[in-house]
Amino acid sequence: MDDGKKADGMHRALCPVETLYVGQRSRAVLSCTLRGRVDVAALSAAFDAMTETNPPLRSRIEQDGTGHLLRLLDEDERPRLTTRTGDETEAYAAELNRPLPVGGPLSRAVLVSSPDAESHLFVLVVDHTVTDGHSSIALHNALWDRYRTLVEGEPTTDRAGSAAPSWPEPVSRLVPGADAADTAKYLDSRLQEVRRHPVELVPYDVTAGDHADGEGHIEVRRLTLDADHTARLRRTARDAGVSVHALIAATLLGTARRRLEGDGSRTLGCLSPVDLRSRLSPPLPASALVPAVTTHLQTLDVSDSAEPLVLARTVHGRLNDFLSRGDHFHEMRLTPEIPRNPALQLATVIVTNMGVVPGPRLPEGLLASDVRLVPAREHYFPQAGRSPVMACVVSFEGRLSVEFPHSTACYSPAFMSAFRDEVRAGLLRLASAARPDRAVTG
């Protein structure tokens, strides 16, 4: 998989895994709602420090023969914090729908403040070509760490102004080596599997004629659980011997099945992104700005009355077997085949899993009342008539959040609200099944 090209000062070639994201045009949208006074100059300096330390943030994507590369932007082109006054809800919708086009900066930071400057929305957007969920969260927290040190007057130890950018290594160079014949055998088995078990997708409830522009826009339906219900859901998972991820995936699969016509079982697919950072040797820190994710696709026969715990045990067991075999490395090696064989990642539901992560640490007098991570992209395909349903799952400070981004040219807000509400009801039922005599630790 290695393209054989090393970083050379002002540019670094993209590996096959990173190149896949160029065509997808997807991005991570980190945001937090703030209450209190923000020192705009310090926040601007903090963002500048992040882009200086992390060259991908101040780069553009360029064509390089049959591939692509990252090239540093000129000083007057690099991204800077932008600020404006406005409504938080409207600002979030605008930033969610504002792309990071090829040829422009791969990051953006925006602060939108109320007229009295006491409430704010901060949005950090990063192209998925150079990040994944874990590194984007780490970047967001590091930015606020820098802000805190600046406003509190603590000394900093950056390499700001360094003449030699430190480019992160592509993950394709860090995975263990493999025999080409073994990779080809694995690819053949995967292709046979997806041909034997084609999955059904959730039909759109919107037609092209429902939108004057034929395109629609991105919206997000969201469910959250408070700390108590999140803890109870974790307890249910432990009592059942499964992960919270498996419980959520099972609930999503059941909800999706009830959006399909007909009786009996249907073949559905569940795609679980798999973090490679902790599985590399040595482990790759979350601060490394590279996409370090592969996927696991499994197909299941799901009835409209499927028992969530039964589904969860299947999801959990298959994912564990996949990891124990080391197939996550095989899966990453066949990434270049995905554009030619999209069924390798075609699923009914896509369920991310960031786990429990900390929110930003802020200086005294500034509070973050909400933190969000939502994936978005430029291209949706209303002409397809159906697609996977995406659920972005993360627990900031021990409170579960599941985000459902969608294009209104595909699914209406009412459709996705009902889908979200059914998932939430299912998770609450699972949380209520927790045994109260067992404490949740870790």
What does the pLDDT read at residue 440? 47
Confidence (pLDDT) at 1: 47
| pLDDT at site 155 | 72
Side chain identity at 243, as an amino acid letter?
S
For the entire predicted model, the pTM comes to: 0.93
- Contact (Cβ atoms closer than 8 angstroms) between residue 297 and residue 350: no
- Kindly give, in sequence order, each residue whose CB lies less than 8 Å from that of residue 428, ignoring residues fewer than 6 positions away: 225, 229
Measure the CA–CA gap between 306 and 252, rounded to whole angstroms. Answer: 11
Pull the structure tokens for residue 255. Answer: 């909800």
pLDDT averaged over 10-residue windows placed end to end, the chain, 442 residues: 57 90 92 97 98 97 91 96 97 96 93 96 97 96 97 73 78 91 95 96 84 76 97 96 98 97 95 95 94 96 94 98 96 91 96 92 94 93 94 94 97 97 98 72 43
pLDDT of residue 330: 95
Reference 219, options 29, 3, 81; nearest CA is 29
Alpha carbons 429 and 434: distance in angstroms, whole number: 9
Task: Return all residues near 49 (Cβ < 8 A) that are at least 6 apart.
Answer: 146, 156, 158, 160
- Cis check: omega of the bond before 282, within 30 degrees of 0: yes
Predicted pLDDT at 383:
92
What the block records as the tokens of 32 is 């937090």
Strand positions, DSSP E, 23-77: 26-35, 59-64, 67-72
The pLDDT value recorded for residue 66 is: 83
The pLDDT of residue 436 is 72
How many angstroms separate the CA atoms of 360 and 157, rounded? 20
Go through the domains of the chain in sequence order and give each one's CATH number: 11-151 (3.30.559.10), 176-432 (3.30.559.30)
Backbone angles phi, psi at 225, to 5 degrees: -120, 145
Can you tell me the distance from the alpha carbon of 418 to that of 123, in angstroms, rounded to the nearest whole number? 27
pLDDT at residue 208, as a whole number:
60
Asked if 37 contacts 364 with a C-beta cutoff of 8 angstroms, the reply is no
Q: What is the pLDDT of residue 101?
A: 84
| Helices 227-240 & 308-324 angle (0-180, nearest 10) | 70
Rg of the Cα trace of the chain? 22
